[in-house]
C-alpha cells in the first residue's frame, strides 16, 4: 500500500528521525549537493540532480581509522573503531542505492568487513525516485531504473502536492511516521533513458582484452582519478599508518587503480605500467571481473564519471565503441 506525505509531513518526519538517528541527506554546500549528516530537517535539499558524490562514503569513508594503537606501560593494545549510532540515509536516488547493494558484495562476503557490515546493518535507506533524468544518466542499462525500489527500505516519489511513500522492507516499516493517509492517485511514469548495449559487450570482453583500443582511449586520460572518486561502486582502498604525537592509527582511504603505482610492489615490479593498462583495469573490473565474481556489473549508470571526466572519457561511449570493435572483428 502506498502512503502520501506532504512536504511538511516529510520535514516533521526527518525531525523525528533526527532524535534517534544520524540522518545523512543531500545538502547544498556552495555549488555542490552533497550527502552530509544534518542537524535539522530544513537543511535537506529535495530538488537536486545527481549529488556530486554518491553516499558510499557513509559505509566506506574517504578516510577512516580502522584501529588505534594504544601503549600503556610498554604494553600495546589495538582498539578497533566502533559504530556508535543508528543512521538513516535520506533522499538517495535508486542508482546510488544500487551502488550500495553492489558494494555489499565484496564487503559482506566472508571474511566480511566488520566495520562496513555494522554500518550497513545500522543504516536505513529512504530513497527518492528520479522524476527527471540527466543527460548522462543510463541506470536502466545497468540493472536499475529511476523508480527502482529494490535497494531501499522506503521509496519516495514526488507528485504534484507532496510525495508517495512506498514502504519496501520491514526495516522501512519501523521508520514510518504515524498518521500518513493512503495514496490513491496515479504513480507517475519514470523518465525514459537511452539504452547502452552492456550485455553484448560483456560477453565479448574476453576477446577484447588485448585490443589496441585501450591504449587509444587512454591516450587522453590524465589519471586524475575523478572517475573513481565520484563512482558509487569503486571501492579499491589503501591502508597506512599515521603517527602523530605518540598517537598511532591505521587509516584506510579510497584509492584508485588509475593511480600510477597502484599495483607497484616494494620490489619494483608493476603489472600495469601504461595508462592503457590502467584504464583497461577500471573497465574490466567493472564490466568483467566483478560480474564473474558476483554476477553483476559494477556500474549503476549514474553518469557521474561521464559528467566529471575532464577529457570526456565516457563509459557509455567506451561500451558502444567496444561493441563496434566486436562487430568489426566478427565481420572480418
Partner 1 sequence: MGLESPFVPYLATLKTAIQLTPDIKLLNVELEDPDIRANFDYKPGQFALLSAFGEGEAPFGIVSLSLQKDGLEFAVRRIGTVTRALQELEPGDTLGVRGPFGNCFPLEDYVRKNIIVIGGGIGMAPLRPVINRILERRNDYKELLIINGARTPQDLVFQPEFPAWMKAPGTKLELTVDRGDEDWKGRVALVPDVVKELAPSPDSAIAIICGPPIMIRFTLARLRDLGFKDNQIVTTLEAKMKCGLGKCARCNLGEKYVCQDGPVFTLEQISQFLEQP
Task: Enumerate binding residues for partner 1 (CB under 8 A).
Answer: 66-67, 69, 76, 78, 80, 82, 106-107, 109, 111-115, 118, 206, 209, 235-241, 243, 248, 250, 252, 255, 257, 262-267, 269, 271, 281, 284-285, 288-289, 292-293
User: CA 258: distance to chain centroid?
Assistant: 18
| Minimum distance, C-beta of residue 326 to partner 1, in the bound complex (Å) | 16
CB of 246 to partner 1, least distance (A): 9
Parallel, antiparallel or unpaired: strands 154-159 and 123-128: parallel
Q: In whole angstroms, how far apart are CA 34 and each of 299, 317, 323?
A: 20, 27, 35
Burial (CB count <10 Å: 0-12, 13-18, 19+), residue 166: buried
Burial of residue 231, with CB atoms counted within 10 A of its CB: 0-12 exposed, 13-18 middle, 19 or more buried: buried
Based on CB atoms, which residue is closest to partner 1, 29 or 239?
239
Contact between 107 and 31 under an 8 Å Cβ cutoff? The reply is: no
Please, which residue, 194 or 240, has the CB nearer to partner 1? 240
The minimum distance between CB 164 and partner 1, in angstroms, equals 37
Name every residue whose Cβ is closer than 8 Å to that of residue 112 and which is 6 or more positions away in sequence: none
- Looking at the Cβ atoms of 22 and 236, the one nearer to partner 1 is 236
Q: How far is the CB of 102 from partner 1 (least distance, A)?
A: 13
Between 265 and 312, whose beta carbon lies closer to partner 1? Answer: 265
Q: Is the Cβ of residue 111 or residue 331 nearer to partner 1 in the bound state?
A: 111
CB nearer to partner 1: give 138 or 288.
288
Q: Are 48 and 114 in contact (CB under 8 A)?
A: no
- Minimum separation from the CB atom of position 54 to partner 1 (A): 18
Q: From CA 91, how far away is CA 13, in angstroms rounded?
A: 13
Q: Give the full edge-to-edge strand order of the sheet including 87-92.
A: 32-37, 22-29, 87-92, 123-128, 154-159, 162-167, 2-5, 181-182
Question: In the bound complex, what is the minimum distance in angstroms from residue 48's beta carbon to partner 1?
Answer: 30
What are residue 304's phi and psi, to 5 degrees?
Answer: -65, -40
For the bound state, the minimum distance from the C-beta of residue 67 to partner 1, rounded and expressed in Å, comes to 5
> Please, what is the end-to-end C-alpha distance for the chain in angstroms?
55
Looking at the Cβ atoms of 109 and 327, the one nearer to partner 1 is 109
Amino acid at each position: 500500500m502506498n502512503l502520501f506525505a506532504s512536504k511538511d509531513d516529510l520535514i516533521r518526519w526527518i525531525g523525528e528521525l533526527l532524535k534517534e538517528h544520524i540522518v545523512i541527506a543531500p545538502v547544498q554546500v556552495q555549488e555542490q549537493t552533497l550527502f552530509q549528516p544534518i542537524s535539522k530537517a530544513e537543511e535537506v535539499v529535495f530538488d537536486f540532480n545527481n549529488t556530486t558524490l554518491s553516499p558510499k562514503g557513509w559505509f566506506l569513508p574517504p578516510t577512516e581509522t580502522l584501529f588505534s594503537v594504544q601503549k600503556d606501560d610498554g604494553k600495546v593494545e589495538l582498539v578497533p573503531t566502533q559504530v556508535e549510532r543508528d543512521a538513516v540515509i535520506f533522499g538517495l536516488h535508486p542508482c546510488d542505492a544500487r551502488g550500495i547493494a553492489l558494494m555489499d558484495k565484496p564487503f559482506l562476503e566472508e571474511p566480511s568487513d566488520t566495520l562496513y557490515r555494522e554500518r550497513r546493518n545500522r543504516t536505513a535507506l529512504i530513497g527518492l525516485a528520479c522524476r527527471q533524468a540527466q543527460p548522462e544518466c543510463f541506470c536502466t542499462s545497468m540493472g536499475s531504473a529511476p523508480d527502482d525500489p529494490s535497494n531501499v527500505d522506503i521509496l519516495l516519489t514526488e507528485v504534484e502536492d507532496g510525495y508517495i511513500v512506498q514502504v519496501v522492507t520491514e526495516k522501512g516499516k519501523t521508520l514510518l511516521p504515524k498518521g500518513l493517509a493512503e495514496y490513491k492517485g496515479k504513480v507517475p511514469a519514470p523518465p525514459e533513458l537511452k539504452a547502452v548495449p552492456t550485455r553484448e559487450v560483456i560477453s565479448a570482453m574476453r576477446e577484447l582484452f588485448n585490443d589496441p583500443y585501450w591504449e587509444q582511449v587512454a591516450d587522453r586520460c590524465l589519471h586524475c582519478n575523478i572517475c573513481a572518486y565520484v563512482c558509487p561502486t569503486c571501492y579499491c582502498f589503501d591502508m597506512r599508518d599515521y603517527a602523530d604525537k605518540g598517537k598511532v592509527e591505521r587509516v584506510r582511504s579510497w584509492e584508485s587503480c588509475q593511480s600510477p603505482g597502484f599495483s607497484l610492489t616494494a620490489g619494483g615490479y608493476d603489472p600495469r605500467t601504461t595508462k592503457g593498462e590502467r584504464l583497461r583495469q577500471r573497465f574490466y573490473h567493472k564490466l568483467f571481473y566483478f560480474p564473474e565474481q558476483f554476477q553483476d556489473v559494477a556500474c549503476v549508470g549514474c553518469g557521474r564519471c561521464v559528467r566529471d571526466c575532464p577529457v570526456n572519457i565516457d563509459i557509455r561511449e567506451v561500451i558502444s565503441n567496444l561493441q563496434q570493435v566486436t562487430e568489426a572483428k566478427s565481420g572480418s
